Structure 1
């Protein structure tokens, strides 16, 4: 061999990696990639991918272009839940969650600690309230940009006494005439053990904020960005600064906020929607989204994925 030639890299057989190392690598791919590709590589990887320990956490938010996918996401999520064998503790069904899917998860996941339901417009007050009783160990909940009322929040608070982190974010609106403390009061009265609260774009006033401070004595982190009805001057603002370790004020920068932080125009039709999204963003039973059920390309190969 030419002495000037670069040394050859030794051949690596990835199948021979220790099982725990391979599992750690595969887990980082996410549920969709595991079910549709990784588990089909070889029998060793398939065996690892079917291990219940791989499915303690199911994160399906990284969907790429949701509207162009050929997969039945609901069915895929159900299969992932089945693989957890009751050991699921963390699940994210952002954008595609429904009452039926949430019920399926609740019936099989009594140890759930973290639940993320962002932009799940097909989850109703009744649906969330019904399953809340089955999540007694829940510690973290994110129901941002959903169409849920204070009644659902009250049920969640009563049924999930260990809740420590709660996110209820919406699009900010500068209109000072739109004031509502219902959600703030529900949080204050029924979630006393919260340590982290993010209510970006909420319409609460100083009254609602005062109630939260009184009702949640363990609060350490509070995000009030774009809560434009809150006035942080005077005694209330001082109290927040003295009590809350990580405090985000209504007019603080939104650079690190993971969603669109554009403020709704005063008097726009967007105010008709609790989340601040326009009508075109809402899903209905007639939307093309449901083409993924039944006749998708995936159905031709489901025996490979779901056996």
Structure 2
């Protein structure tokens, strides 16, 4: 009968490269909660950069003990502590090699979560935020993005425009070039955006409500813009001398004309687009949550899909 010491040595003597290859097939939760705890050589393999290019928290199952049932998950203190523990465990193993961080769409994050992530992922190039990031303070946002000087791409879902986030990006992230937004895109935010990230090259407004004057302003002032995605958008026209507005789906000819200078202008065929047809027009929360999550996860610009 083999003793415990012999068994431990056999685990420790497994080939490093083979271990890494096996571990790349595992879910990151298996790595942080089980595999990395087996022995020292396995933990060393769990820190290999090949495992940590991307940390995707969207893979957390709503049916597991890691997160609560959607659509309103991880919003209480206990769940927030779970998220902090997951972030610390995963990012400590990554040893700063994570370049893409995807939060779970239904997770609520606060300053502690974002600062925790930024301190442990100094080489981050792409960040995909969750729907519920509104607990973040200006101080927490500034502290976090100051550590992400190399950030190039950001996805922000929200019911309100992320003014403070874009101010921080403009202050610290000098290589920034790609932005995906899911908020009402009005003229005030368009003006702020051109001031904060004037060298933006790729902009996706997939599935959002867009003020027509805001779009014209963007096209007139973003001189470096190369790619624009307006698939599944609703256009909004506000009357200048009257109270009220009009919502419509077809993109105005002046906007289309201004987009002719771009390398790529993406729209959908509104009459035949399955996504536009499927868009929920009622108050059922789960229908809207599913639609918004699809808009967040998918994108016709391949570099913004995840």
Confirm or deny a common fold (TM above 0.5): yes
Q: Quick check: 1:212 aligned with 2:218? A: yes
Structural mapping, 1:49-128, within 5 Å: 49-51=46-48, 54-65=51-62, 68-69=65-66, 72-94=82-104, 95-96=106-107, 97-126=109-138, 127-128=140-141
* Structure 2: unaligned runs, 5 residues or longer: 1-9, 68-78, 237-249, 294-306
The match for 1:222 is 228
The match for 1:23 is 20
Indicate if the aligned counterparts of 1:125 and 1:152 stay in contact, CA closer than 8 A: no
Deviation readout 1:205-262 (Å, 9 max, x if unpaired)? 22211222233333332222343226533232122144241412583866579xx963
Q: Distance in 1 between the 2:272 and 2:27 partners?
A: 31
Q: Distance in 2 between the 1:21 and 1:141 partners?
A: 34
Distance 1:194 1:100, change over 3 A: same
Indicate if the aligned counterparts of 1:125 and 1:149 stay in contact, CA closer than 8 A: no
Indicate if the aligned counterparts of 1:121 and 1:146 stay in contact, CA closer than 8 A: no
Alpha-carbon shift at residue 18 of structure 1 (Å): 5.7
The match for 2:180 is 167
Distance 1:244 1:68, change over 3 A: same
Q: 1:34 aligns with which of 31, 42, 61?
A: 31
Structural mapping, 1:143-222, within 5 Å: 143-145=156-158, 149-170=162-183, 180-222=186-228
Deviation readout 1:164-191 (Å, 9 max, x if unpaired)? 2111125xxxxxxx88323333323322
Give 1 or 2: higher strand fraction: 2
What is the TM-score with the length of structure 1 in the denominator? 0.66
Higher relative contact order (CA 8 A, sep 6+): 1
Indicate if the aligned counterparts of 1:203 and 1:227 stay in contact, CA closer than 8 A: yes
Alpha-carbon shift at residue 160 of structure 1 (Å): 1.7
Q: Distance in 2 between the 1:159 and 1:253 partners?
A: 42
Indicate if the aligned counterparts of 2:20 and 2:48 stay in contact, CA closer than 8 A: no
Give the total of aligned pairs: 251
Higher mean C-alpha deviation, range 141-150 or range 156-165: 141-150
Q: Give the alignment's Cα RMSD to 1 decimal.
A: 3.8
Q: Distance in 1 between the 2:26 and 2:274 partners?
A: 27
